Amino acid sequence: MTTGPDPALRERLLEAAYECIAHYGLAKTTVEDVVKQSNVSRATVYRAFPGGKDELLRAAVGWEMGRFFGRLAEAVAGAPDFAALVESGLTFAHSAVREHAVLQKVLVTEPERLLPLLTIEQERPLAFITAFLLPYLEREQRAGRLVRGVDLRESADFVARLILSLISSPGTWNLDDPEQVATLVREHVLAGILTPAALA
């Protein structure tokens, strides 16, 4: 029976690829760079990522996105209710993206290479955020704070998609201003999902 690459080895290669992207950029990072950074053989890299550089870089972007949303989940885990969770999540994510040195560097120097990768990998954080939100929505439902007839999974997916969109493109909303974030979340994102009492 064929098994996939060792998880620890895969993590090592993804971390090495990320370090190379941080140093060289997406366009100039090569498989050979990752070989040197990870101290494994070229054949080992290709066994783990048969698609070569394109697959490796796509996986590295997805890996870093996963780490980012893991930190986001930790940051909001203590929120007292669903509205507060979404508010603190937006604030944290906006600030973290702005302060993410590698992301900002690549967005400035190679947006035409990064943005397609982010689009391809978007389903992974979308699924993660949706699954993360569901228990909080279930708790709101048990407390009678959910609008009658609202579908939990559809609502979690809808909120997750809005969060991802607002993180990268907040439009005229100032996500550094707690009052604006509260207005955005309570009057737009969650209107129709939570009861007026839950949004008060």
pLDDT of residue 3: 54
The per-residue pLDDT for range 119-147, each reduced to its tens digit, is 666 777 788 889 989 999 999 999 999 99
| CB of 60 closer than 8 Å to CB of 119 | no
Within 49-190, residue ranges assigned H as helices are: 53-76, 82-99, 101-109, 111-121, 123-142, 152-168, 178-184
CA dist 122 and 161 (Å) reads: 10
pLDDT at 53 over 70: yes
In the numeric block, the tokens 């998880």 are attached to: 7
3-state secondary structure of 174: coil
Identify the pLDDT of residue 115. Answer: 66
Domains of the chain: 63-199 (1.10.357)
* Residue 136 amino acid letter: Y
Mean pLDDT of the chain: 89
Q: Which neighbouring-strand residues pair with 194?
A: 146, 191
Does residue 4 or residue 165 have the better pLDDT? 165
Nearest to 41 by CA among 23, 64, 16, 4: 16
Whether residue 57 has pLDDT greater than 70: yes
CA dist., res. 127 & res. 118, Å (int): 14
Rounded Cα–Cα distance for residues 37 and 60 (Å): 14
In this prediction the pTM is 0.76
Residues of the chain above pLDDT 90, percent: 56
Per-residue model confidence (pLDDT) at position 9: 94
Enumerate residues 6+ apart whose C-beta is below 8 A from 195.
144, 145, 146, 147
Helix (H, G, I), strand (E, B) or coil at 55: helix
Choose between 71 and 180: higher pLDDT: 180
**Secondary structure of residue 191 in the 3-state scheme:** strand
Task: Work out the pLDDT band at 73, boundaries 50, 70, 90.
Answer: confident
**What's the 3-state SS for 146-168?**
ECCCCCHHHHHHHHHHHHHHHHH
